[in-house]
Amino acid sequence: MQIQKSFKGQASYGTLFLVPTPIGNLSDMTYRAVETLKTVGAICAEDTRNTGLLLKHFDIETRQISFHEHNAFEKIPALISLLKEGVSLAQVSDAGMPSISDPGHDLVKAAISEGISVVALPGASAGITALIASGLAPQPHIFYGFLPRKAGQQKAFFTDKQGYQETQIFYESPYRVVSTLENMLAIYGDRQVVLVRELTKLYEEYQRGCITEVLAYLTEHPLKGECLLIVEGDDGSRVSEEQDVLSPLEDVRVRIASGTKPNQAIKTVAKERGLNRQEVYNAYHALS
């Protein structure tokens, strides 16, 4: 067990600050974030050119260290050494919260393992910002980040998640949104979805409707700009024909044959059918 007292901890070590940056509107930068970036010893940036524009806007002269998915493995030991020497660092991504869709998480784990304080600053987060204005249930929700790119992998992913009752948050490239919605429609059915684009920017837009309505709109209005998807959870009203015919154990076997891991297949079938997971597990393994 480890206890971190963020502001009364090991004074001889530096602190790793996770600093959120605006997702489009520079006015969303907080006073604390600006002050932190000015006072740390260095800023670990996903893209130094992109972060450089931000630093210039706020007259921040702190030096940058390039830190991204392609060099994280080799950079982390040196960054940990700096922190242990008493140098505080800030880690930023191109936009929004760091350590979610970038290598920041690996740096966080390494710092924690060395007893170095990790302090997260509150600020902009695209997923949560879009969720609360989507009109879909904000609680409970699940954030998945970026989806698999290949159609087969996407459909397998949606098959595993189709019974989840939580509102689901996905990041997606504007070039793949149409195919993603088509794959989602095939597995989820015509659920309510909100497509959010250019969040916090001048052309911010929320497209709210069922999947078929959004797809129809996109045929006449091609998507431009950064976007994300908010999808309503399963309300239990759509039961696939396969589930009507198959017994729970047959359903488990079919899912395993399609590539789903046994425990995940058991968990999904139990949740979708309202069954006790342990009983399905025992039955499958002939333990009951």
Long-range pairs of 71-76 with CB within 8 A, sequence gap ≥ 24: 72/103, 72/106, 72/107, 73/106, 75/44, 76/106, 76/107, 76/110
**pLDDT band per the 50, 70, 90 thresholds, residue 242:** very low
| pLDDT on residue 288 | 46
Q: Which of 245, 250, 253, 243 is nearest to 273 (CA)?
A: 243
Q: What mean pLDDT do residues 180-207 have?
A: 94
| pLDDT on residue 237 | 65
Residue 166 has pLDDT above 60, yes or no: yes
Q: What mean pLDDT do residues 51-57 have?
A: 97
Residue 245 has pLDDT above 60, yes or no: no
Q: What is the pLDDT of residues 103-118, one digit of tens each?
A: 789 999 999 999 999 9
List, in order of start, the domains of the chain with CATH numbers.
16-120 (3.40.1010.10), 126-231 (3.30.950.10), 241-284 (no CATH)
Distance separating alpha carbons of residues 78 and 112, to the nearest angstrom: 15
Distance separating alpha carbons of residues 126 and 225, to the nearest angstrom: 14
**pLDDT band per the 50, 70, 90 thresholds, residue 10:** low
Q: What is the pLDDT of residues 26-37, one digit of tens each?
A: 999 999 999 999
**pLDDT band per the 50, 70, 90 thresholds, residue 91:** very high
| pLDDT on residue 246 | 58
